[in-house]
């Protein structure tokens, strides 16, 4: 079965340090991969996507993600974290003819001042 794994429930990082939020997917072929962010009691906001092309994808608010086909990973990164980046982050994928977006369970990011 297709699945998206976010292996860390929570990530803590100091303000100004680089951050990484991990995501791995399980599918053969060419996945469509997405990252979303959710602030408390709000809807999800689209950050970025990978469809094809360059493995490094740039998105909103200074975030980027690196697609690695051999490791089936799509980790979210930011060179310098801000306290305002503290939120819940979700990875998701469409794959093949699956007509539903498969979601990870989310990673809570805490950026400490």
Partner 1 sequence: DGGITQSPKYLFRKEGQNVTLSCEQNLNHDAMYWYRQDPGQGLRLIYYSQIVNDFQKGDIAEGYSVSREKKESFPLTVTSAQKNPTAFYLCASSMRGPPTGATASGSGHEQFFGPGTRLTVL
Kindly state the smallest distance separating residue 94's Cβ from partner 1, in Å: 5
Question: What's the closest the beta carbon of residue 33 comes to partner 1, in angstroms?
Answer: 10
Q: According to the binding rule CB under 8 A, does residue 28 interact with partner 1?
A: no
Q: Is 89 in the site for partner 1 (CB under 8 A)?
A: no
Q: Do residues 73 and 23 lie in contact, with contact meaning Cβ atoms separated by under 8 Å?
A: yes
24 binds partner 1 (CB under 8 A): no
Report CA-CA distances (Å) from 59 to 1, 17, 65, 101, 113: 29, 19, 8, 19, 24
Tokens of 110: 């805490």
* Residues in contact with partner 1 by the rule CB under 8 A: 32, 34, 36, 41-46, 49, 51-52, 90, 94, 96-101, 103-106
């Amino acid at each position: 079965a297709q699945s998206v794994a976010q292996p860390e429930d929570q990530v803590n990082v100091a303000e100004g340090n680089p951050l990484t939020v991990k995501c791995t997917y399980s599918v053969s072929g060419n996945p469509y991969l997405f990252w979303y962010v959710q602030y408390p009691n709000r809807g999800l906001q689209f950050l970025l996507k990978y469809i094809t092309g360059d493995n490094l994808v740039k998105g909103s608010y200074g975030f980027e993600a690196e697609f690695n086909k051999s490791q089936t990973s799509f980790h979210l990164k930011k060179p310098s974290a801000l306290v305002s980046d503290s939120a819940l982050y979700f990875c998701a994928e469409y794959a093949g003819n699956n007509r539903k977006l498969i979601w990870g369970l989310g990673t809570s990011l805490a950026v400490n001042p």
